Amino acid sequence: MRVAVAQPASTDDVAANLAEIARLSEEAAGLGAEVVLFPEYATYEKKRLDETFARAAQPLDGPVCAELASTARRHGITLVAGVVEASPAPDRPYNTLAAFSPDGTLAAAYRKIHLFDAQGQRESDFISPAPSAEPVTFDAGGVTFGLMTCYDLRFPELAAALAEAGAQVLALGASWVPGELKTQQWRTLSAARAIDNAVFVAGSCQAPPISIGSSLIIDPQGDVLALLGPDPGVVVADLDLARIASTRLEFPVVEQRRIPSSRP
């Protein structure tokens, strides 16, 4: 399967973001990609979270997702993108990754579990956490993808749960906040989650200045198959699923995993 990670520089202009998603999707489809992954907050983004995210929120059957579904259908791709989803709390929407099948139907929606309350920011002041910590997966072309968002990458338990739920590719959408060693951490943690679980990791990250870029695709042994720099763009890689089986034969980490209990 050929997978693309797209790297836009999203802003608070929803129409412009949707146009950029459509443009990069067309480019990815032209490169033969079957699945195209966009980052967290692909349809609405600012340097810091504020009350405008609530005003930008829409339900998953609203106009923003309808446009994403149309783009998926037009290019015959599975499209995954970060949206601001209306929640029961009017002032605190969900940070959601929505996946659309080639026929435009909603294949999955993952609401971010681990909100970014770190580095002096408090995502939880403006965003509601997922009501459930259950792993979310979807199938595309016979391949199972597991959804993760940004700060989730620092919590290996979620990646492990997705692998045990059958995920062969961790589809990671991010807007990784810049800072000292942050690019190194993004690449290291992405490789670690691939190695930890003997799966592929496809990580799409927002471009600078809001984020760090460095969108990537990593194989189950930690080999970087594709990597973008700081500029907006698209990169593709062919995923050889036999690589998962051969890696797990050598390192049967999923089969052998035992989670120690912290309770007496």
Beta-carbon count within 10 A of 178 CB: 14
Q: What is the DSSP code string of the chain?
A: -EEEEEE----S-HHHHHHHHHHHHHHHHHTT-SEEE--TTSSS--SS--THHHHH-B-TTSHHHHHHHHHHHHHT-EEEEEEEE--SSTTS-EEEEEEE-TTS-EEEEEE-SS----TT--GGGTSBPPS-----EEEETTEEEEEEEGGGGG-HHHHHHHHHTT-SEEEEEE-----TTHHHHHHHHHHHHHHHHT-EEEEEEPPTTTS----EEE-TTS-EEEE--SSSEEEEEE--THHHHHHHHH--HHHH--------
**From 65, 67, 85, 150, the catalytic residue:** 150
150 is catalytic: yes
27 belongs to the catalytic site: no
Tokens of 192: 């670690």
User: Is the distance from CB of 242 to CB of 250 less than 8 angstroms?
Assistant: no
Catalytic residue among 20, 34, 40, 67: 40
Contact 193, 201 (CB under 8 A): yes
Annotated catalytic residue: which of 85, 112, 123, 205? 112
47 is catalytic: no
Yes or no: say if 210 and 184 are a contact pair by the CB < 8 Å rule. Answer: no
Which residues participate in catalysis according to the annotation? 40, 112, 150
